[in-house]
Structure 1
Amino acid sequence: MTLRARAAELQVALMLLTRFPAGRIAGPAPGLAASAWAWPLAGLAVGGLSALVWSAASGLGLSPLVAALLAVAAAVVATGGMHEDGLADLADGCGGRDPARRLEIMRDSRIGSYGVLALILSIGLRAAAMAGTAPGGRVVPALIALAVASRAGMALWARLLPPARSDGLGHGAARIAPGAVAVALGLAGAALLALMAGAAFPLAVALLAGGGAVAAFARSRIGGQTGDVLGAAQQLAEICGWLVLAALT
């Protein structure tokens, strides 16, 4: 593969997972599965923006909780809230009587009480844990490392779980090559080791546990993964990472 092909795959990753301008792709666009290795790099852009917002808010003298909420808001804006939307849809789908009905509910654009509660908990837990981490001075590197590593997990679960639908993002991402997953996980490991040093191992365990819990739940409830499942896996992985980091502070 040429450097131009790799750059095109990175562009697809940015287009898929963020709202950042990624430019036009010259020639045929790579598929979603081909871009999976670069999903952590999309996380790097999102985490970098969150880190800038946190630093600016802290520099203005705002409390750690307010700075944390602003950092989370920046990530939501950067992604268009797509991962939060996936979490809410999966939570709403819990109420279905069978896999077909659950998938139908997940595709409904309306949000139910389970989805609202999931969003409140996701935003609240991340912000509270981030504020609790502030005394340790590791919020900025953690924002970047967790954003990178949690999106690498999406590639892993997309590879390991069968698609629950015959269409949609989850189906398009179901043919990820093992090499692409290995690169994504390598980028995640590098980010954790470079930015979080002594906490890298417990954070890696927390990220795998959080994403793995969503993957196991989705397999039992709807038979596999969808785009919503991957988004929910990213959310719970990041939440678990922040909770562990706050506990270690």
Structure 2
Amino acid sequence: MAEAETSSEATAAERPAWPGWAIATAICIRFYSRLPVPRLPGEGDLHGVPDFRTVPRALPFAALIIALPAALVALAAGLAGLSGTATGALVLAALALSTGAFHEDGLADSADGLFGGHTPERRLEIMKDSRIGSYGTMALGLSLLLRASLIATILDRSNAWGAAAAVLAAAPWSRAEGLLLLATQPPARSIGAAAAVGRPGLATARIALALSLVLAAGLCLAAHLPLAGLLLGFALAHGAAAALARLARRLIGGQTGDILGAAQQFAEIAVYLGLALTLGWAGR
């Protein structure tokens, strides 16, 4: 009997505490962006490493807040009559300011490491290097070009409200795809950002994906964007993230924070692509 009680107490001690939706959202905003968030009642150390075993359930809400300035830029630029190209560029500038180019840095480091080294150890060493190489430069340039062009296409084929909704819809799903990789793929390093925050359970990742789907669908319906395009974008995003996960596992043994950043960039491009394609088909 005593042994059963001891085992139960140990299990309870190991089980991560759920901090509440507001605090979890604030933690995610601080981790994923540069946006200032005040201390909320009941919060602990603001500078401590977040516990990602449960906190990322609230990531979709945090992602919407992080992307909100960029969505407002898309709306304002579109209503002001700026070209799609200018609007797309301004949206990406606003996103980079909000996040500190957090995900873009991961994409560049992943490209340099995965394709610039010949052994897992050398690839991981390159990924830790703050300098950017030719692979990283090309990957970053292509990401910026594709996202700006696709936002411009969505604006031209819908309206300013549609472009703003697309920016908001892509934000939670693209980050949830990275979260799914964190939950399902082993860490390539025993140290580093991805290893330090802890691994969420599959249930946590699925909750984040489900919330992302609901939020994105609501935004698309409100802005009269095709749900078929959203679902196509989500399918493309999931396929791209899965392909990246397989590549990373083969070349470096698993995921890192940089790989998660690259997954977000792939997924964001995929969501815009799905919406742009479907809007084009509907216009024919």
TM-score above 0.5, yes or no: yes
SS in 1 for 2:116: coil
Deviation, structure 1 residue 2: 8.4
Q: Trace 1:82-97 onto structure 2 (pairs within 5 A).
A: 82-93=102-113, 94-97=115-118
Match of 1:139 in 2: 163
Deviation, structure 1 residue 62: 1.3
Asked whether the equivalents of residues 149 and 189 of structure 1 are also in contact (C-alpha less than 8 Å), the reply is: yes
The CA distance in 2 between the partners of 1:73 and 1:8, in whole Å, is: 28
The CA distance in 2 between the partners of 1:119 and 1:4, in whole Å, is: 35
Matched, 1:13 2:33: no
Deviation, structure 1 residue 160: 0.7
Q: Trace 1:20-59 onto structure 2 (pairs within 5 A).
A: 20-24=35-39, 26-28=43-45, 30-59=50-79
Matched, 1:213 2:243: yes
Matched, 1:81 2:105: no
The CA distance in 2 between the partners of 1:169 and 1:221, in whole Å, is: 19
Rate the CA distance shift 1:185–1:191 in 2: closer, same or farther, 3 A: same
Deviation, structure 1 residue 35: 2.0
The aligned amino acid for 2:188 is: A
Q: Trace 1:192-207 onto structure 2 (pairs within 5 A).
A: 192-196=216-220, 197-207=227-237
Deviation, structure 1 residue 246: 1.6
* Cα RMSD after superposing both structures: 1.9
Match of 1:235 in 2: 265
The aligned amino acid for 2:34 is: R
Match of 1:159 in 2: 183
1:196-244 CA-partner distances (Å, limit 9, x unpaired)? 3343321220121122222122111111011000000000111122122
Q: Trace 1:174-189 onto structure 2 (pairs within 5 A).
A: 174-189=198-213
The aligned amino acid for 1:226 is: T
SS in 2 for 1:110: coil
The CA distance in 2 between the partners of 1:56 and 1:167, in whole Å, is: 43
The CA distance in 1 between the partners of 2:135 and 2:26, in whole Å, is: 34
The CA distance in 1 between the partners of 2:102 and 2:31, in whole Å, is: 9
Asked whether the equivalents of residues 185 and 245 of structure 2 are also in contact (C-alpha less than 8 Å), the reply is: yes
Match of 2:5 in 1: none
SS in 1 for 2:141: helix
The CA distance in 1 between the partners of 2:23 and 2:216, in whole Å, is: 26
The CA distance in 2 between the partners of 1:194 and 1:203, in whole Å, is: 15
SS in 2 for 1:225: coil
Rate the CA distance shift 1:200–1:106 in 2: closer, same or farther, 3 A: same
Query: Normalization by structure 1: what TM-score?
Result: 0.93
Deviation, structure 1 residue 154: 1.4
The aligned amino acid for 1:121 is: L
Deviation, structure 1 residue 75: 0.6
The aligned amino acid for 1:220 is: R
Query: Normalization by structure 2: what TM-score?
Result: 0.82
Aligned length: 249
Match of 2:129 in 1: 108
Deviation, structure 1 residue 19: 0.9
The CA distance in 2 between the partners of 1:33 and 1:2, in whole Å, is: 9
After superposing the two structures, state which structure 1 stretch, 231-240 or 195-204, moved more: 195-204
Deviation, structure 1 residue 64: 0.9
Asked whether the equivalents of residues 229 and 277 of structure 2 are also in contact (C-alpha less than 8 Å), the reply is: no
**Higher radius of gyration, 1 or 2:** 2
After superposing the two structures, state which structure 1 stretch, 101-110 or 135-144, moved more: 135-144
